[in-house]
Structure 1
Amino acid sequence: MRSRSKAPRVTVTLPGPTIGIVGGGQLGRMIGEAVARRGIEVVVLDPTPECPAAPVVSEQIVGAFDDEAAIRELADRADVLTYEIELADPDVLETVAAEHDLPVHPDPDTLRTIQDKLVQKSALADAGIPVPPFEAVSSAADLESALDRFGEVMLKARTGGYDGRGNRPVTEVGAIDAALEELGTNAMAEAFVPFERELSVIGVVGADDVRTYPVTETIHREEILRESVTPARTDDGVIDRAETVAHDVLEFLDGRGVYGIELFETPDGEILVNEIAPRPHNSGHWTIEGARTSQFENHARAVLGWPLGPTDLREPTVTANVLGDVDGTGPARLRGVDTVLEAPDVDLHWYGKDDVRPLRKMGHLTVTGVPGSRVDADAISARSERLDRARDLRNAVTFASVDTPDTE
């Protein structure tokens, strides 16, 4: 990776510039929601007509994430380019940005490195950043060798996997053929980490400043993020090590913007980097209510070269993802919402997706605290109580059909 490029902070005037975003999913939607009040215009490029971001941004260009003509059209309408999905093509972004003399943040070279999990892990290891042991896998013999070396492994597709897709645990030689049939031979075997907990640090790189949000504990099931707890329920030494590793990662990467840095806390309190996302991240959704400046506003500030907003915690915060609890694909209609709206300590976010399918991320809710109540708010036990409450409220809503029809 190159040394991070330095750029002078710009002089801010309003109304603000236009950000072109490759991707118009829930992240693009939340960026649009965050920056409208700052006078910033947003144009998104997404292949799905009327994508989730469309209702809250200025314009949508319908096109594939790697459609060079569509990205040129996006560049025609923007003052800076960014992306909210790793399926963006770094080569096309680099070419179009050079033609239009536009900045792209984070740098396309950073995207190029992160898109391939083996390249990403190799680059981090070469930079001295702690990662789990890993090996390239291009054949059954390679995977058997990794099993011999590491014992249990997590087989990961090198490209394209997210939300549990593209990852498969392999614990014995007899499972090799099925694992390679599912993920293919362009893969990486990573030593299984018997972690104490999973953590995340949302970092933001600005024109002349680097900041991190408080360390978050992330709770996954079936490789999908279900809940987050901020601050993480761990000791101060682990927090310090996680922050140090996160700053090392941010120093290593090139380009301005928000980065989601996923970490393992080992049983002996050490920190290993799991994966990095060069964009706002699901584990940072808590920042909308729980931090002084959300990750979405700070991503916009960073890519524009504006001063970064404070990343301080307002109060301990828990989020719970609302996932598709259905057996197949169908129209998205969430029931039981009254229970959440009646709660004084909860905020509900809807991602605007037309269809629901099993385990698809459809929204999230955030539990902070009843207004005016700060008793023991910083205690780990209080955060655990908020986690229980977030789960109960999330479980009260459903996409599943009910016997009695909704009243209009």
Structure 2
Amino acid sequence: MTVTVPGPTLGVVGGGQLGRMLAEAAAPLGVEVVVLDPTPDCPAAPVARDQVVGDFDDPDAFDDLAARTDAVTFEIELADSDLLNRVAADHGVSVNPAPETLSTIEDKLVQKRTLADAGVSVPPFRRVDDADDLRSAVAEFGSVMLKARTGGYDGRGNVPVSDPDEAENAMAAVGGPAMAEAFVDFARELSVIAVQGDSEVRTFPAGENVHEAEILRETVLPARTTDEILERAEDVARDVLDTLSGRGVFGVELFETTEGAVQVNEVAPRPHNSGHWTIEGARTSQFEQHVRAVLGWPLGSTRLRCPTVMTNVLGTVEESQPARLSNVEAVLEDPGASLHWYGKDAVRPLRKMGHVTVTGEGDGGTHSLLEHARDLREELQFETTDG
């Protein structure tokens, strides 16, 4: 394989913050990016070469994207896997991760069955089609997390259920066929960003994730657990990649149980929010790794540079409206902090608008770093505007 610069043009289905950061990472490699997204002037548009405006199931838009690029990937599970298969065949472009992997991942029940059948440790689960099924699941597992099989993210589509009398309302909330998963008595939540290259797999060190209301708030590196658990987490992530096809970055969310086991929560076939720390905290970011991997190029180092904490900047306004972020000097003046703004046109309650990463020095502990990251985040304020 010969790699030259300038390189090929990469098509990305999805132009949100992940598409934006993929384009930012691709540029230094001489790779231009064209994104496909239904929102004109999407967050990735300012940094990508161009945008195809179209829905994630628009055949003409997919044809346009494939005709203008040498390889195609996706940053959102709403991408139509059948269309990805077709453009790969019709236009002769590589599509990674493989469309069949997307088909497996986008349905949480199919995802869990695939992992369980491969011997990967997952929490007990069962299919739920109606309220009676859900009541049976509660009777079998006790408290459960009811998950919409498709379309859920950032806590949307997830409903905790512990009382059979809650079944009707819970099913109405998820809005269709679902999966019930037994609540896990976990010590902490972890994630591993794993990379499937052309002929090798590399894993970043496991991060510790702090959630509130089902939304990721912080990721802490190194994770505050034992070396044995960290090693096991990376092994489980590699087992997950053995069950899936195609090159690219995969976010593997995990539970460390109170009994010391590691179980898979969910898998994302793309760069992941819990991997944003890699931009400042690792030798090679997850976004550069994804670009390298989907193009079949050599992978970069996954080594942790230093203790690192990433904290999400979430919308705090009461309803969707244009706004800007103020007090950013609190972050910019901090020598160990970095601000990432996603360029979204409106702020909504709990919408991910950006993130702040704080890096430490040497082998120091992460607790004080986490508190510092939280303090910086609290300094940031949203001011509504007229657009």
Shorter chain as normaliser: what TM range?
A: over 0.9
How much does 1:316 deviate? 1.1
- For the residue of structure 2 that corresponds to 1:259, the secondary structure is strand
- Take 1:184 and 1:22, find their aligned partners in 2: how far apart are those partners? 26
- Take 2:164 and 2:10, find their aligned partners in 1: how far apart are those partners? 49
- Take 1:401 and 1:36, find their aligned partners in 2: how far apart are those partners? 32
**Of 142, 148, 155, the match for 1:151:** 142
Aligned to 2:117: 126
How much does 1:184 deviate? 2.8
How much does 1:66 deviate? 1.1
Residue 92 (str. 1) matches residue 83 (str. 2): yes
Aligned to 1:66: 57
Question: Aligned pair in 2 of structure 1 residues 193, 41: CA closer, same or farther (>3 Å)?
Answer: same
- Take 1:83 and 1:11, find their aligned partners in 2: how far apart are those partners? 24
How much does 1:174 deviate? 1.4
How much does 1:401 deviate? 5.5
Contact 2:255 2:264 in 1 (8 A): yes
Aligned to 1:326: 317
Provide Cα deviations, 1:151-185, integer angstroms capped at 9, x if missing partner.
Answer: 00000000000001000000101111110111134
- For the residue of structure 2 that corresponds to 1:132, the secondary structure is coil
Residue 299 (str. 1) matches residue 299 (str. 2): no
Q: What amino acid sits opposite 1:279 in the alignment?
A: R
- Take 1:80 and 1:332, find their aligned partners in 2: how far apart are those partners? 36
Aligned to 2:366: 383
- For the residue of structure 2 that corresponds to 1:61, the secondary structure is strand
**Of 225, 242, 245, the match for 1:234:** 225
How much does 1:229 deviate? 0.2
Q: What amino acid sits opposite 1:49 in the alignment?
A: P
Q: TM-score, normalised by structure 1?
A: 0.93
- Take 1:221 and 1:203, find their aligned partners in 2: how far apart are those partners? 24
Aligned to 1:48: 39
- Take 2:363 and 2:260, find their aligned partners in 1: how far apart are those partners? 21
Q: What amino acid sits opposite 1:159 in the alignment?
A: T
- Take 2:97 and 2:67, find their aligned partners in 1: how far apart are those partners? 19
Aligned to 1:280: 271
Aligned to 1:194: 185
Aligned to 1:395: 378
- Take 1:184 and 1:72, find their aligned partners in 2: how far apart are those partners? 32
**Of 116, 119, 134, the match for 2:107:** 116
How much does 1:84 deviate? 0.2
- Take 1:32 and 1:346, find their aligned partners in 2: how far apart are those partners? 22
**Of 256, 268, 271, the match for 1:265:** 256
How much does 1:11 deviate? 1.2
- Take 2:267 and 2:68, find their aligned partners in 1: how far apart are those partners? 29
Contact 1:52 1:351 in 2 (8 A): yes
- Take 2:175 and 2:208, find their aligned partners in 1: how far apart are those partners? 32
Q: What amino acid sits opposite 2:222 in the alignment?
A: P
Q: Which has the higher contact order (CA 8 A, sep 6+)?
A: 1
Q: What amino acid sits opposite 2:49 in the alignment?
A: S
Q: What amino acid sits opposite 1:378 in the alignment?
A: D
Instruction: Note the residue ranges of structure 1 that are not aligned, 5 or more in a row.
Output: 1-9, 403-408
How much does 1:384 deviate? 0.7
Contact 1:137 1:185 in 2 (8 A): no
- Of residues 324-333 and 83-92 in structure 1, the stretch that sits farther from structure 2 once superposed is 324-333
Contact 1:218 1:228 in 2 (8 A): yes
Contact 1:332 1:353 in 2 (8 A): no
Contact 1:325 1:400 in 2 (8 A): no
Provide Cα deviations, 1:202-248, integer angstroms capped at 9, x if missing partner.
Answer: 00011111100001000100100000001111011111111111110
- Take 2:287 and 2:350, find their aligned partners in 1: how far apart are those partners? 24
How much does 1:378 deviate? 2.4
- Take 2:131 and 2:6, find their aligned partners in 1: how far apart are those partners? 57
Task: Report percent identity of matched pairs.
Answer: 63
- Take 1:291 and 1:269, find their aligned partners in 2: how far apart are those partners? 27
Aligned to 2:175: 184
- Take 2:264 and 2:136, find their aligned partners in 1: how far apart are those partners? 23
How much does 1:114 deviate? 0.2
Provide Cα deviations, 1:72-111, integer angstroms capped at 9, x if missing partner.
Answer: 0000010001000000000011011100111100000000
Contact 1:65 1:88 in 2 (8 A): yes
- Take 1:240 and 1:312, find their aligned partners in 2: how far apart are those partners? 14
Question: Aligned pair in 2 of structure 1 residues 303, 180: CA closer, same or farther (>3 Å)?
Answer: same
Moved over 3 A (4+): none
Q: TM-score, normalised by structure 2?
A: 0.98
- Take 1:184 and 1:128, find their aligned partners in 2: how far apart are those partners? 30
Question: Aligned pair in 2 of structure 1 residues 401, 45: CA closer, same or farther (>3 Å)?
Answer: closer
Q: What amino acid sits opposite 1:62 in the alignment?
A: V
- For the residue of structure 1 that corresponds to 2:250, the secondary structure is strand
Residue 256 (str. 1) matches residue 247 (str. 2): yes
